[in-house]
């Protein structure tokens, strides 16, 4: 296990209220990129699948350190259906 903790601070905004799943996110000054909420736990917002406007970036976000295997599989399948290369996903051990 690693004892290194890295953080990043970003800013997100919803440019069009009629499309709440489309975000503009900036990690560097005022340079914003498009990100999309592709899947969301609509019941309790415990996890989300977020991708970029291309298939270059993809994240599985969770409020808990571990997701059940069936949820991981569901999110990976959803990403594959949208053309993302899920073989590039990196599963980081969480504590």
The reply to whether the predicted model has a pTM over 0.85 is: no
Average pLDDT over residues 33-43: 94
Domains of the chain: 11-84 (2.40.128.20)
| CA dist list (Å): 71 to 52, 62, 66, 95 | 21, 11, 10, 19
Residue 3 has pLDDT above 70, yes or no: no
Q: pLDDT for 13-31, tens place per residue?
A: 999 999 989 999 998 888 8
How far apart are alpha carbons 37 and 55 in whole angstroms?
13
């Amino acid at each position: 296990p690693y004892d290194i903790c890295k953080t990043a601070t970003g800013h997100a905004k919803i440019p069009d209220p009629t499309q709440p799943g489309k975000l503009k996110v900036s990690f560097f000054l005022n340079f914003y990129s498009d990100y999309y909420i592709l899947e969301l736990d609509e019941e309790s917002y415990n996890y989300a699948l977020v991708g970029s406007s291309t298939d270059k970036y993809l994240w599985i976000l969770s409020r808990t350190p571990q997701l059940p295997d069936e949820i991981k599989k569901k999110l990976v399948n959803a990403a594959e259906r949208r053309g993302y290369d899920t073989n590039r996903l990196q599963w980081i051990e969480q504590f």
